[in-house]
């Protein structure tokens, strides 16, 4: 038997009995970061493969949303900061050991790049698109000349952004449930999956939706594999990690995680997409909405569970 009693002094706001320092802002930011990474990745990949017309929504339409989605995510992050006027401090130094520093610089780079990418495609989505000044048109002509380089840069930075949304958490050794290298790839693939779902909702053609659904099925399969792998890793690790895994295997996060993330967010949409592919059910956007819901829930639950799990028990 072991008994640990804290007798005085420790009743700190948002620290005891377990951390509640990060509320809705961080999961929303991580979700939007992953979504944006996916949108940019697929847009740039299909652009380079010369499928801009065939996959019009993926390549041209979805990126138009990116600057707004990114701005919303960054605003959520800003709301989370406790010392808001010191926001600029993120950009006065590069700290290679800090994932948050990586993240802020990646966002600082991806924001202008994706805005240029969106402007480039806005011209073909809105035929009456005109720039108010000549220099803007000249600048955009310059961008178009180097569109391929921009696409490659976006692929690269989208991958960093997608992985970063997971690494931000996995770098915290102090929170055992976050401390797994699987979180980077898991959030990356989940971000890609939500982007595919987002594109499916926007897409006007059956062919494109069908193609996106097929890729999404692969993404969902990969996510399920990574989730199983993550728990196998925990259960084969130290006592503290086994205890952390128990939060999801009988503990307080069991029902929300397995029902909302795995069931509603992965298995049910996968099943509907398979049946849709076999023409057994009517093609609807239900799986796409479920995938988006599951992606958001994954971030909410993981962010919360990480703050619940600690070395002090």
Residues that bind another protein (CB under 8 A): 1-16, 19, 21-22, 80-84, 86-87, 89-90, 92-93, 95, 97-101, 103-104, 171-175, 238, 240, 306-307, 310-312
Task: State in angstroms the smallest separation of the CB of 253 from another protein.
Answer: 17
Tokens of 7: 């007798």
CA–centroid distance for 239 within its chain: 30
Nearest residue (CB) to another protein, 56 versus 175: 175
Neighbour-count burial for 215-251, b at 16+ CB within 10 Å, e otherwise:
bbbebbebbeebbeebeeebeeeeeebebbbbbbeeb
- The answer for residues whose C-beta is within 8 angstroms of residue 311's C-beta and 6 or more apart is 174, 176, 240
Task: State in angstroms the smallest separation of the CB of 9 from another protein.
Answer: 3
Task: State in angstroms the smallest separation of the CB of 179 from another protein.
Answer: 10
- How far is 154 from 159, CA to CA, in rounded Å? 8
Nearest residue (CB) to another protein, 49 versus 95: 95
- How far is 195 from 22, CA to CA, in rounded Å? 24
Nearest residue (CB) to another protein, 98 versus 246: 98
Nearest residue (CB) to another protein, 92 versus 128: 92
Task: State in angstroms the smallest separation of the CB of 72 from another protein.
Answer: 18
Which residue bears the tokens 């991958």?
Answer: 159
Nearest residue (CB) to another protein, 278 versus 312: 312
Task: State in angstroms the smallest separation of the CB of 81 from another protein.
Answer: 5
Cα–Cα nearest to 244, from 309, 173, 159: 309
Which residue bears the tokens 């994706």?
Answer: 114
Task: State in angstroms the smallest separation of the CB of 263 from another protein.
Answer: 29
- How far is 259 from 245, CA to CA, in rounded Å? 16
- How far is 9 from 86, CA to CA, in rounded Å? 30
- How far is 294 from 298, CA to CA, in rounded Å? 6
Nearest residue (CB) to another protein, 141 versus 173: 173
- How far is 182 from 226, CA to CA, in rounded Å? 7
Task: State in angstroms the smallest separation of the CB of 227 from another protein.
Answer: 22
Nearest residue (CB) to another protein, 83 versus 133: 83
Tokens of 167: 């690494």
Task: State in angstroms the smallest separation of the CB of 235 from another protein.
Answer: 18
Task: State in angstroms the smallest separation of the CB of 17 from another protein.
Answer: 10
Nearest residue (CB) to another protein, 93 versus 278: 93
Tokens of 262: 């795995």
Nearest residue (CB) to another protein, 104 versus 199: 104
Cα–Cα nearest to 258, from 224, 233, 232: 224
- The answer for residues whose C-beta is within 8 angstroms of residue 83's C-beta and 6 or more apart is none
């Amino acid at each position: 038997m072991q008994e640990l009693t804290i007798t005085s002094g420790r009743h700190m706001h948002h620290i005891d009995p377990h951390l509640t320092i990060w509320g809705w802002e961080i999961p929303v930011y991580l979700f939007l970061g992953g979504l944006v990474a996916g949108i940019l990745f697929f847009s740039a990949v299909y652009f380079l493969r010369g499928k801009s017309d065939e996959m019009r929504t993926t390549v041209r339409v979805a990126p138009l949303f990116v600057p707004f989605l990114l701005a919303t995510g960054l605003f959520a992050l800003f709301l989370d900061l406790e010392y808001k006027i010191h926001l600029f401090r993120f950009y006065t130094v590069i700290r290679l050991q800090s994932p948050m520093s990586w993240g802020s610089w990646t966002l600082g780079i991806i924001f202008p790049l994706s805005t240029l990418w969106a402007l480039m495609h806005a011209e073909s989505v809105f035929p009456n698109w005109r720039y108010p000044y000549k220099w803007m048109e000249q600048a955009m002509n310059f961008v178009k000349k180097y569109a391929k380089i921009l696409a490659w840069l976006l692929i690269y930075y989208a991958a960093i952004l997608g992985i970063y949304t997971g690494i931000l958490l996995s770098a915290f050794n102090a929170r055992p449930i976050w401390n797994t290298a699987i979180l980077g790839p898991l959030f990356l693939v989940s971000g890609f999956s939500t982007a595919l779902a987002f594109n499916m909702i926007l897409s006007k053609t059956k062919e494109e939706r069908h193609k996106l659904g097929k890729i999404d099925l692969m993404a969902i399969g990969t996510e399920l594999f990574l989730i199983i792998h993550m728990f196998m890793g925990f259960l084969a690790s130290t006592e503290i990690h086994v205890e952390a895994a128990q939060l999801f295997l009988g503990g307080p996060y069991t029902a929300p995680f397995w029902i909302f993330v795995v069931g509603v967010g992965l298995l049910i949409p996968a099943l509907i997409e398979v049946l849709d592919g076999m023409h057994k059910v009517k093609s609807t956007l239900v799986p796409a909405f479920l995938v988006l819901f599951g992606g958001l829930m994954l971030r909410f639950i993981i962010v919360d569970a990480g703050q619940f799990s600690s070395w002090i028990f």
